[in-house]
Structure 1
Amino acid sequence: MKQLHDLRALPLVSIAAMMAAVPALAQTNTSSLDHEVVLSDLDAPWDMAFLPDGTMFFTEKCHGLSVRLPDGTVNALLGVGDTAGYATNGEDLFCEGQAGMMGVAVDPDFADNRRIYVYSTSNMSDPHTNRLMRFEVNGDLTDVSGRTDLVDDVPYKMEATDQPFGGPGAHNGGRVAFGPEGHLFLTTGDNHNAEVPQSPTMMGSKVLRLDTDGNAAEGNAPPEGFDPRTYTYGHRNVQGLAFHPGTGTPITAEHGPWHSDEITVLENGGNGGWDPRPNMAGRGDCPDGYCGYEPNQMEGMNRYERRAYMPMTDFETYPDAMPPIWTNNGWSQGISGAAFLEGEAWGDWEGAMVVSYLGIGFGGTPVGERIDVVELDEGEISVFDVTEMTLPMESQRFRALATGPDGSLYVSSEEGMIHKLTPTD
């Protein structure tokens, strides 16, 4: 069933009714999958990036950056803090809560410049920050050098205050990826700080679009007064980012607050509409000034009423906010990675988007550890159908998705594994 692209024209009651009528998942699968565990016994593998020959760089949240060569050899390159066994250590890098070493991306010109980009939490300053760093990888892929901090001002949640949720290190975003035009994208999170999402200068809750030196990419068009690195703002916690194979358009997958994980087609300069400040749209006081989970504390509300009270995309306050093209039927289940399937072997799913879930049971929702195939209409990007993959392995807390140069789908899990899924006839 096709979902409407522009939700702004609908009242909240109509949106709720529409979502109630739309099934979250279709029940059929159109592909058989071979399964291989590529790596195991890892420490919360967070992200993956490939060279054309199948060489795979990957990050582990509390350990660091490593590389797996095509013959299966693994070299540990950059350690978090004093983690043993790494060729180089970032003494200022650390992990805490949801924070640590997160996204990784390979430069499109890696063959010439040997550059790789890593997003990690750092205690180099006080308060601590999240940083996007650039390194050069040596010729035999055994070490990195030449650290350059391209972005050093992404906020970090230092302490658990009197909020009844979350701890230090919450909501960092963390995905790093190159778009088809060569721009470097970085997603960031709100840190449970109500002021961050709509702030023009705090670099949380944003999608940044940069050149490879960390400067604002030419053509960024944020509102007047915003940091020029801003491509979009008003996000909650984007951990999925992929680019439409036909148009190159960036599309995000974003965690919802007790409800409404969202998939959104980004618009240059656009507002994601997340604003968890108190006294917005009739809200009262909230724990520690952050209303992001307030509906869950209000007895008697169903998930549609909660969504109306604390919308993920607040069209009442921001009528021109970017409309999501899909909202997970009112559930929040920790949507995480995003990628597009490539190659004829995927059959009808070739060119479809895939998103993964950590499977968070917020607000009494069922645990949703799974991978969904999101089929998009041709032309204007909207959701045509969503199908849950029938997986040849046990469901896990899936963190990241990446399409390898062989056309297989690589999946990392919080249980310490990187899986390889390959379509078969």
Structure 2
Amino acid sequence: MKLFYSLLTVILITISACAQQTDSEVKAENPEKINYTSEIVVPDLNIPWGMVFLPDESLLITEQTGELIHFKNGKKTFIEGAPEVYFRGQGGFLDIEIHPDYENNGWIYMTYSSTEGEGDGGNTALMRAKLDGNTLVEKQLLYKASPNTRRGQHFGSRIEFDNDGYLYFSIGERGERDVNPQDITRDGGKIYRLNDDGSTPSDNPFVGTENAKTSIYSYGHRNPQGMAIHPSTGAIWINEHGPRGGDEINIVEKGKNFGWPVISYGINYSGTPFTDITEKEGMEQPLFYWVPSIAPSGMAFVTSNIYPEWEGNILVGSLKFAYLERLELKNNKVVKREKLLEGLGRVRNVIQGPDGYIYVAIEKKGIVKIVPKK
């Protein structure tokens, strides 16, 4: 009888979710015509987690195992002085970004899993440093999540600057689903907003709230591994992993609760439910969600006229299905999904370079450039 009711609950949740899955019913399609080619720009990388172009159009690339690579003029150089990472499960050397005024101040920002602080294990940290030749110098730890834990999942973490110069970064809920994401006195399952020096902006939503982590900007997240600034509105967009179903795209808003794990379009990996609702007052609905999950990674908006049919679209990597997904938008609604670069490997990241081309980081392969056919 217990088994019957468990199965009935799963069926009811599935029916309820399907009734609301207007967005996720937009199925990912293979392109009718392949109008691009791909070429390897940086070969022989293992898990290239983060990448950023410097003003000279060379690349800085993080390998999850802890290496920082400078790729310039066809040559890889391993940078000395990279932060020591806690390489476990999904943890390691994560994202990398440069300051909007990098040419004048030289600041480079990195997220990684770190053992610093109390407790066994690690948690996500944010550092900035400068590059002197082939060495990182002037390293400053700007934020370190606590407590440390030996859990190997959900470190996040992406970095983005908005048009006002504020720094946003994500930390996953570290596998503590029922503890961290809904509690603003705890790290994990949050989007954070800092000044570029690591200090907390005075207008952050929880400044003045007793015991709150004042760097939190939004909460109720699971594991955001994609982040990009909208080219027109300047809003910060993220994607985040759901469990079995319920991956999401969200637009970050000040002080908003994005619901995890109280509401979700997903279920446990075992197939059992953990919540029976997909909506609740005071909690935000996703702009888009995936059922089944694709395990979204890096994301980027296309603004380049090199890809005229893709302008204004979002590109999102799929770790689970090993392709790059193109999502066509109309009025902030996904109206078309298309699979790109199928069969090359797990897509970890995607960015648009200063030359206007799209660059995709693929595990066990390297950095691939998408080139339209003439």
Normalised TM-score (structure 1): 0.77
Deviation at 1:398, TM superposition (A): 0.8
Amino acid at match of 1:43: N
Q: Distance in 2 between matches of 1:56 and 1:119?
A: 17
Which stretch shifts more, 120-129 or 206-215?
120-129
Aligned equivalent of 2:161:
178
Q: Distance in 1 between matches of 2:201 and 2:344?
A: 39
Summarize deviations over 1:306-326 as a string: whole Å, max 9, x none.
4xx537x8523xx22121111
Q: Distance in 2 between matches of 1:235 and 1:310?
A: 15
Native 8 Å contact 2:117 2:146 kept in 1: no
Aligned equivalent of 2:4:
none
Q: Distance in 2 between matches of 1:156 and 1:411?
A: 32
Is 1:272 the counterpart of 2:258 in the alignment? yes
Aligned equivalent of 2:10:
none
Which stretch shifts more, 22-31 or 207-216?
22-31
Deviation at 1:204, TM superposition (A): 0.8
Native 8 Å contact 2:66 2:82 kept in 1: no
Aligned equivalent of 1:385:
336
Aligned equivalent of 1:151:
143
Q: Distance in 1 between matches of 2:238 and 2:54?
A: 23
- Give the SS at the match of 2:307: helix
Summarize deviations over 1:144-187 as a string: whole Å, max 9, x none.
101100001255431xxxxxxxxx32110011122222111111
Alignment of structure 1 residues 354-369 onto 2, 5 Å: 354-359=315-320, 368-369=321-322
Aligned equivalent of 1:424:
373
Is 1:75 the counterpart of 2:77 in the alignment? yes
Q: 1:295 to 1:59 in 2, by over 3 A?
A: closer
Native 8 Å contact 1:373 1:387 kept in 2: yes
Summarize deviations over 1:96-122 as a string: whole Å, max 9, x none.
111011010111111111110111122
Q: Distance in 1 between matches of 2:355 and 2:93?
A: 26
Deviation at 1:26, TM superposition (A): 3.8
Aligned equivalent of 2:60:
57
Is 1:131 the counterpart of 2:152 in the alignment? no
Aligned equivalent of 1:203:
187
Aligned equivalent of 1:334:
295
Q: 1:323 to 1:34 in 2, by over 3 A?
A: same
Out of 177, 185, 197, which is 1:213 matched to? 197
Out of 324, 346, 360, which is 1:371 matched to? 324
Native 8 Å contact 1:115 1:135 kept in 2: yes
Normalised TM-score (structure 2): 0.87
Summarize deviations over 1:375-411 as a string: whole Å, max 9, x none.
2224xx232322222x2x6331111111111111111
Q: Distance in 2 between matches of 1:89 and 1:24?
A: 41
- Give the SS at the match of 2:19: helix
Deviation at 1:14, TM superposition (A): 5.4
Amino acid at match of 1:422: V
Native 8 Å contact 2:193 2:215 kept in 1: yes
Amino acid at match of 1:214: G
Which sections of structure 2, spanning at least 5 residues, go unmatched? 1-12
RMSD: 2.5
Summarize deviations over 1:244-286 as a string: whole Å, max 9, x none.
111011111111111121111222111110026xxx99xxxxx
Is 1:401 the counterpart of 2:363 in the alignment? no
Q: Distance in 2 between matches of 1:201 and 1:66?
A: 36
Aligned equivalent of 1:8:
none
How much identity, in percent, do the aligned residues show? 29
Amino acid at match of 2:174: N
Deviation at 1:76, TM superposition (A): 1.3
Q: 1:405 to 1:156 in 2, by over 3 A?
A: farther
Aligned equivalent of 2:247:
261
Q: 1:89 to 1:270 in 2, by over 3 A?
A: closer
**Corresponding pairs, count:** 355
Which sections of structure 1, spanning at least 5 residues, go unmatched? 1-10, 78-86, 159-167, 282-291, 299-305, 360-367
Is 1:114 the counterpart of 2:106 in the alignment? yes
- Give the SS at the match of 1:111: helix
The structure richer in strand per residue is 2
Out of 247, 250, 267, which is 2:236 matched to? 250
